[in-house]
Copies of this chain bind each other. A is one copy, B any other.
Amino acid sequence: MEQLGVKPSLQRIAIMGYLMDNLVHPTVDAVFSGLSDSIPTLSKTTVYNTLKLLVRRGAVLELNIDDKNVRYDANISSHAHFKCKLCGSVHDLPLGSVGEAKVEVIPSGFVITESQLYCKGYCNACKPEVEVAVDAEAAVEAAVELSA
């Protein structure tokens, strides 16, 4: 933490530790709630500030795969992300040679410093529900579509 130029305060250590212990890409609220018990005086502003600081220092990844809440990832190794459209969970996706290949596809003159691959679909746990969900959704869509 010090090698990042981040003074390791009680709160900062706890927040970074929470991210490392919970690699499920938690939201700001999740981090705050998860630490409120052990640090009752913790302020949500501190969580916001610290996460932003850690992102700026390159210790943490910021994910915008969710329209609503930003998510954070202490795993900064090259990988993609997957969000289940049913349960909302976010998972890691291994990126083989693709991870680096994509940066090479550069139109003349652009400088790419970072990239993120976001995938969406249905996770393992939700897949069984998909059949039903798709049918229900399709039915509703069809009904709406006929007149829309």
Q: Which A residues form the contact surface with B (CB < 8 A)?
A: 5-7, 53, 56, 64-65, 67, 70, 80, 82, 85, 91, 93-96, 98, 101-103, 105-124, 127, 130, 141, 144-148
Q: Can you list the 9 inter-chain pairs with the closest CB atoms, starting with the nearest?
A: A5-B145, A109-B124, A112-B121, A115-B119, A113-B121, A111-B122, A111-B121, A112-B119, A116-B118
User: A5 and B146 in contact (CB under 8 A), knowing A93-B107, A102-B98?
Assistant: yes
Copies in the complex: 2
Output the least CB separation between A137 and chain B (Å).
10
Query: Roughly how many angstroms separate A65 CA and B62 CA in the complex, as a whole number?
Result: 12
Contact A127 B115 (CB under 8 A): no
Least CB distance from A70 to B in Å reads 7
Known contacts A64-B67, A70-B67, A148-B6, A85 near B113 by CB under 8 Å = yes
Interface pair A98/B101, CB less than 8 Å apart? yes
**What 8 new A-B contacts, CB under 8 Å, besides A91-B107, A98-B102, A103-B119?**
A5-B145, A93-B105, A98-B101, A110-B121, A111-B122, A111-B130, A117-B117, A118-B118
A73 to B34, CA, bound (A): 38
Bound complex: CA A7 to CA B147 (Å): 8
